Amino acid sequence: MKISKPLFVFFLSLLLTAWAGPAAAEEKAEEASKSGPTRQKVTSQSGEVFMNIGEVTIHAPSELRDYADLPGSVDVIGEEQIDRQNARSALDLLRLAPGVDIHDYGSGGVPNGFTLRGYNLNHGSGAAITIDGIPYNYHMGSADGAVDLNQLIADDVIRIDVVKGPIDARYSNWNEAGVIHFHTRTRGNFQKAKIGYGDFATRKGYVSIGSESEKFNQVYSLEFYDTHGYRQNADMDRQNMYGKWFYRPSDRAQVGLIAHAYSSEWGTAGYTPEYIWREEPKRSVMQNDGGWKDLSELQLHMDLDVTPKTPLELKVWSVSEDYSRFADWGGGQTESHFEHQIGGMLANLGHEINMANGGRIRLDFGGDIRRWDTLDKNYNTTARNRTALNSANNYIFNNSGVYAKMNYDPNQWLRLFLGARQDWFSGEAKDQLADTRMDMEDVSASSYSGGAIVTFAQNYSVYANFGTGFELPVGAAKYHENPPGPADIFFWEVGIKATPVDWLFTRLAYFQSRNDDEIRWSAGEYTHQGETQRRGWELEANVTKGDFELFGAYTVHDATYEAGDNRGNWITSVPEYIFKLGAQYTLPTETSIQLWYRDSGKYYTSTDNLHYYEGFQVWDLNISQPINKFWTLSLDIKNLFDEQYAEYVGYWTDPFGIEGNQMAGSDGRNIMVVLKYEHD
């Protein structure tokens, strides 16, 4: 499926119109900047425990307050680091995040997975994901709670906030491991473009133009990406379009509209049995598998300062998506086809109180309503041609919730946090072939969170937090008769943040999470795993000395089943450790050299722990050289030493009837040259 030529021409004409906009609006924007917020670079200060990776640029402190101002392990990835990655997709950017291990299935528009806080997040389910404040988890589809980050233009992202653990009261369902917030470029006078070419006939093009005046700003972005892929049958073709318009009738109000279209087709090398992959890492045993996806989206953003200390935020959105995935799991190729209609609305009212003794209270009250309407069909296919309809089910899932949270600073040495949320769920399912209907039992669930930051010296803070959560029965299981109730989750964490000298930031944390009845997909069905425990500790350090920067993170897991046949065994797909190290140095010639190292430890691929994958170590190198004020040339070398590895390994019976590890093999060494233009 392709974005139509008329739509592309129309969008391109808007983009060219915006190109002239910055010059016409330059004088007004300069005048507005004198009284409005200006961009500033920030790092974690005394009393704040977030860690930043690279420089973080914001317009106002309130941009960080919402997500980074929490009493827990929050990592903020800045725009400079994001820009250097020349990422193939937004998921690639999470490779920078400490404690996150990517599970790239190598299947184009299929949502990929990752691990966070000891959770194996299949297709990304189990972590709440937002883009510009809009929740993006899908009900049904590839997985209950999945998110496809191929639909987000990576070069539009200016900041990522990784909140570890269910400690933010605003989020509940699909929040077992935490929340990840992607923030994109929505304002400014700029022209940006990238063009890249690399191994496997990989081509990437990106252009984004912004125009801003005192009352109105607009941003247009286009992305094109295609590749033949490292492995057989791994081609991909993707297009993304964004239009963003924001109007400010006064200093206290703003209304915005975001429109988005996405289209992709792909083949997939899929999963290769380990005994084949070891000898032929490029081989695919799934020659005709792949898929396609089309998406359109509209968002409405409204912000109003009821008073200078009482901000009101409102967001409304609608998503329409068609998605087909072709795969042969051993019984012949099938097509899983989904038609998603998603709508939602959220509101947040904040209020700040400055106390006579110098203390401060921040209160937030809010709620959201979301509805997912999914048509799920499964066909027998031959070479992607439908031959028989196996099933056709329509699922409707409704979620509404309200929350309240408080941040209280009684003095400069202490910060307290409390939050609570109440959720309600309902839905219905219809089997269109059998003409039968099942109503989901109405479910309500409560969650709570809290914590504190104590700054016992100017550059030293200790923090502690807790969060409760829940896990609903997964997928279609929630519509069955007499389904189990939500499984309870309890998470807690303690840590210390230290800045012993002005060029060194460090943070050490210990965390623990208990799920009283985990539900996972195993052997073709959803099963109850019983109680599970996840424990671990994480050390991070950030060194900045002149033109040299060094960032390192070491995360250790202890994730075990606590009940049932697998009691005492390690939870599958959770690595024993994750080690990341990044270094960057800028030469006097302005040549910038960046080296990243990722080391993912051993993990088990079967619940009986008889099968495992030993892990991998990978180096990536980036060299960039400014040509002049506006142009930069960069060389990216991924997998510098040509490691043979797989970012995801599972265990099941292969298409030849043999049980064993199945490898989603990752790319060998690949080189891309990128030319970048930037005019702010």
Residue 61: give its domain's CATH number.
2.40.170.20
Q: Is the pLDDT of residue 169 over 70?
A: yes
- Tell me, letter by letter, the H, E, C secondary structure of 583-626: EEEECCCCCEEEEEEEEECCEECCCCCCCEECCEEEEEEEEEEE
Separation of alpha carbons 586 and 584, rounded Å:
7
Of 119-128, 236-245, 390-399, the poorest mean pLDDT is in 119-128
Residue ranges of alpha helices (H) inside 214-310 are: 274-277
Mean pLDDT across 114-128: 92
Q: Is the pLDDT of residue 36 over 80?
A: no
Instruction: Answer yes or no: are the C-beta atoms of 188 and 490 closer than 8 Å.
Output: no
CA distances from 32 to 26, 213, 245, 248, 674 (A): 10, 7, 17, 12, 34
Q: What is the pLDDT of residue 40?
A: 65
What DSSP state is assigned to residue 666?
A: P
Q: Is the pLDDT of residue 678 over 60?
A: yes
Instruction: Answer yes or no: are the C-beta atoms of 556 and 538 closer than 8 Å.
Output: yes
Mean pLDDT across 634-649: 97
Q: What is the pLDDT of residue 4?
A: 46
Mean pLDDT of the chain: 90
Token pair in block for residue 124:
């990304």
Q: Which domain holds residue 383?
A: 5-679
Count of domains observed in the chain? 1
pTM of the model: 0.93
Q: What is the pLDDT of residue 23?
A: 40
Residues in contact with 5: Cβ distance below 8 Å, sequence separation at least 6, in sequence order: none
Separation of alpha carbons 465 and 51, rounded Å:
16
Sheet holding 113-116, edge to edge: 101-103, 113-116, 119-121
Q: What is the pLDDT of residue 29?
A: 39
Q: What is the pLDDT of residue 25?
A: 38
Nearest to 493 by CA among 180, 163, 244: 163
Q: Is the pLDDT of residue 662 over 80?
A: yes
Q: Is the pLDDT of residue 239 over 90?
A: yes
Separation of alpha carbons 670 and 615, rounded Å:
20
Confidence category of residue 54, pLDDT binned at 50, 70, 90: confident
Separation of alpha carbons 271 and 327, rounded Å:
10
